[in-house]
Copies of this chain bind each other. A is one copy, B any other.
C-alpha cells in the first residue's frame, strides 16, 4: 500500500488525488484554503467512491511517502518551505506547479538538505480537458522510478530528464506555440469579424490544415522563411496598416511584422540561394545572425 500526500486541492490536486485513490493509493490531502472555500464535499463527491482524507500538513507529512505539490505557481516556494522541517529520507517531494526552471532548481536546493528526494513535474495540457490523464513530465535523478509508481496508480507520467529544470523548460517553451497560436487565432477571428469575413477565414485555414498535415504546412513556412521573409515583411506591413485603419489593436500581427522585419534587417536572405530542405538551416542561420547583431 502506498501513501500519497497531495498539497493543494484545486483543479489539479483534486483530479490527481481522485485518480490515485481510485487506483488503490491511500491519499491524504492538505489545503489551507479548504475550510474557507468549502470545497471539501463537492470535490470528494467528484471523486466518486474513493476516499481522500483531509488532514493537517504535519499529519500528511508524517504518513505519506510521496508528496505531490499542486498549489499554485506563487505558492510553490512557501508550500515547500512549510514542509522542510518535517521532510526526511523517507520522502519523495514532487513539485507539479507551473514554474520556471529556476524555481524548480531553487526548490531542489531547499529540499536537498532534508535528504528527501526532489522530483520536478511539468503538466502538459489542460487538466480541465483531460483530467488526471493529462501528461506529466518528471525530471530529476529519481524521475524514472517515481514515474513507474505514479503511472501504476493512475497518473499519466513520463520520465523526461535526469537534470532538474529541463521538463519545466520544455513545458514553458511548448507554451510559445500553444499560447501563441491561441492568441493568433483570437486576433485572426477578431479582425475577421470586424471585416465580416470570419467564417470564410476560419474555413480557409481549417481546410488548408485538413487537407495537408500540420507538419508539412508549418515545415514549408519555416523552410521558406530564409528566402521569402522580405516579400512577406512588405505584405505584413500592409496587413498591420490595414488593421490599424480597421481600428483593431493588432498585438500579434504587429509582432509578426516586426519578426519578418528583423529577418530582413539581419540580411538573412544572404545565407540562402534557394529554399533549404531542412528547417534547421533557417534556425541556425537566424541564430548566427542574431548573435552577430551589433
Contact = CB atoms under 8 A, between A and B. Distances in A.
Copies of this subunit: 2
Contacts of A256: 176, 179-180, 183, 252
A121 B242 CA distance: 17
Interface in A141-176: 166, 169-170, 172-176
12 contacts: A98-B235, A170-B195, A172-B239, A173-B191, A173-B197, A175-B236, A180-B253, A181-B221, A184-B184, A185-B222, A209-B215, A252-B259
Contact of A215 (B175, B188, B206, B284): B206
B242 A101 contact: yes
B190 A170 contact: no
A174 B201 contact: yes
Contact of A176 (B181, B191, B221): B191
Contact of A287 (B179, B190, B238): B190
B188 A177 contact: yes
A210 interface: yes
Interface residues of A, number: 88
Contact of A290 (B169, B176, B249, B279): B249
Given A173-B188, A191-B173, A183 B286 contact: no
Classify the interface of chain A: helix, strand, loop or mixed: helix
Interface string A193-232: 1110110111011100110011100101110110010001
B100 A186 contact: no
Given A73-B238, A178-B205, A185-B218, 20 more contacts: A98-B238, A99-B238, A128-B228, A169-B242, A173-B192, A173-B197, A174-B204, A175-B235, A177-B188, A177-B201, A179-B239, A181-B184, A183-B256, A183-B260, A187-B259, A189-B222, A193-B283, A194-B287, A206-B218, A210-B215
